[in-house]
Amino acid sequence: MRVLVQRFGGRSRLLVQTLLTGGVTRAHKVFLRQRAADPHCPLSALLETFCQDEVCMDEETHTLTTKPLVSLFPATFKHDLLCFLHLLHPGLPRESVLSLLRCLSQEADKNPWICALICQLYKDIGVEEFRKDTLLTSECVLSLKDLCDRFKDFREKRGWDLCLSEHRTDELSTDCQIDAGLKKRKSEIPELQMDSDDKPESKRRKIDLAAQGGPEDGQVAVGQEESDEKTTQIDNELEGDPSATGSVPEEHVLPDHIKAAVPLIKELLDSGTEWDQNCVPSLKVLHECDANQLEVFCAMLCLPEAPEQSLPHFCSSVLTLTQDLSHSTASVIIKNLLLGKVRSLTEPPSRCLVTAVTSLCTRYPRPTCQALIEPLIKEGQTGSAQAELLCRLVKDCLEPHHRLLVFQMTLVGSWNEGVLSVIHDLLDLKIELSEEIFSEFTNQLSSQSPHFAKSMKFAKMVLTVLTKFQSRVTPACQHTLSSCISFNETFLKKSLQAALKRICH
């Protein structure tokens, strides 16, 4: 095996060694680190080397022949290699992957599991002749049909228990070393509960099945068991309940090619390094998710926990997509990526966070208003740090009609000092207020004035109304504003009264 590994050079050799010794997960991590250090992907050379002819001895004819290098590796390695390519195929040269699959297909009939993985990878890369093929062999279809016939009435008590009891009894009858008492205890299986006890039982059955095959099959089964455990962990995180055993609703299930993009994007988010153009295509899956699927996708990426230093790179890559995100997609991304970080601010936002928020707000202003600004205002989460950021968005990123939208958001619910800062900046920009909106605003001023009797921000805001919106102050509004000023206890009270008196005359 060492001789085969020596056929590869540099980073490709490290990947092959990792696949041989550490499996798919570790090899994927090694590849992502290599890619972060050097954007030039080494996998093209790796795939070409696998397809090179190698002189070897034919086991049947005992003569020298040539075979593709990949054919000389053990079945467990081929299995892991196919799983590895399944994760990364969207960013790989299509022809190189097809060449490797053709090489692997020469002996795939000897291993049904590898044959199924090859078929699945053909489907992943869009080969039409494989789209309608089923991954199930005729024997597997018959076994499944027989199993389904046993459980037509799934409510019938002890259905699974009886099936497993028969399986266990058959196994025990072939073992002459087990005494009758032990045989009896094992055949009387307690009623199966669909909870966490399934996992040890499932693991034991996999090992038992592996033991019936050769050593190579045992290695495949154990490797598949580890892969299944990792898949189960991701699926449980995806469902939001680590202990969940029920099925995921159909509309929440992500297609395989979308799931395949998760590890690469998450690794780039965690690394905080700059994204190159080769990484942008993986974000195209954002266009293919509906709102529910996108929530699941963001949860798998742990988007709310992404480090702030990675935000500008991520947002920059999102903005370079040739097709703009839909309103709903942009809203979900902004909510998951930014809302939690902005909501938890206790000091002025970092440069990375400001860059991310302003870049997305400039490109997607309405989704930002609805997914970020509105929740902060309505939930009363606008402290001084949040207000500083929102005021910056209002001044630098929003068009007049979007500023009006934010202003209307402030008229719902109670105010605090942070909201007052946002309203004051909006009024300073002299937004266009209709008579109806201005009347609603003055009523809100009157209702909130007892709570801000000593607030300088509130007093300055009222003074701005009286100086910049004189034409909007009707006789009805004059009475409302007079009532509002009567509660004021700051040194600006006389200035407020004088400004209102000028309007009345």
Domains identified in the chain and CATH numbers: 2-130 (no CATH), 157-191 (no CATH), 254-409 (1.25.40.480), 433-505 (no CATH)
Enclosing H/E stretch for 195: none
**Position of tokens 């076994």?**
143
Between CA 336 and CA 214 the distance in angstroms is: 48
Structure tokens at 446: 């009157």
- What 3-state DSSP class applies to 67? strand
The H-assigned helical ranges of 364-455 are 365-368, 374-378, 384-396, 400-410, 417-428, 435-448
3-state secondary structure 37-66: HCCCCCHHHHHHHHHCEEEEECCCCCCEEE
Pairs from 112-120 (Cβ < 8 Å, separation ≥ 24): 112/137, 113/75, 113/79, 113/220, 113/224, 114/75, 114/78, 114/79, 114/82, 117/79, 117/82, 117/83, 117/86, 118/82, 120/86, 120/256
Structure tokens at 138: 């005729």
Asked if residue 50 lies in contact with residue 103, where contact means CB atoms within 8 angstroms, the answer is yes
**Position of tokens 């934010």?**
406
Instruction: For the chain, state the CA radius of gyration.
Output: 33
pLDDT tens, the chain, 505 aa long: 677 777 777 778 888 888 887 778 888 777 777 777 666 655 778 888 888 888 777 777 777 778 888 888 888 888 888 888 887 766 677 788 888 888 888 775 567 778 878 887 777 777 666 666 666 666 777 777 777 776 655 444 444 455 545 444 444 444 444 444 444 444 444 443 444 444 444 444 444 444 444 444 444 444 444 444 444 444 444 444 433 333 444 445 778 888 888 888 888 788 766 666 666 677 888 888 888 888 988 988 888 888 888 898 888 888 888 788 889 999 999 999 999 999 999 899 999 999 999 999 999 999 999 999 999 998 877 888 999 999 999 999 999 999 999 999 998 877 899 999 999 999 998 888 888 898 889 888 888 888 888 999 999 999 998 888 888 888 888 888 888 888 888 898 888 888 888 887 6
DSSP summary character for residue 413: S
Between CA 402 and CA 174 the distance in angstroms is: 76
| Displacement of CA 104 from its chain's centroid (Å) | 32
Rounded to the nearest 5 degrees, what angle is found at the Cα of 386, between the Cα atoms of 417 and 425?
60
- What 3-state DSSP class applies to 68? strand
Residue 157: HSE in the Cβ half-sphere, 13 Å Cα cutoff: 2
Structure tokens at 46: 């790796």
Structure tokens at 225: 């068991």
Distant-in-sequence, close-in-space partners of 97: CB < 8 Å, separation ≥ 6: 47, 85, 89, 121, 125
Structure tokens at 345: 């601010």
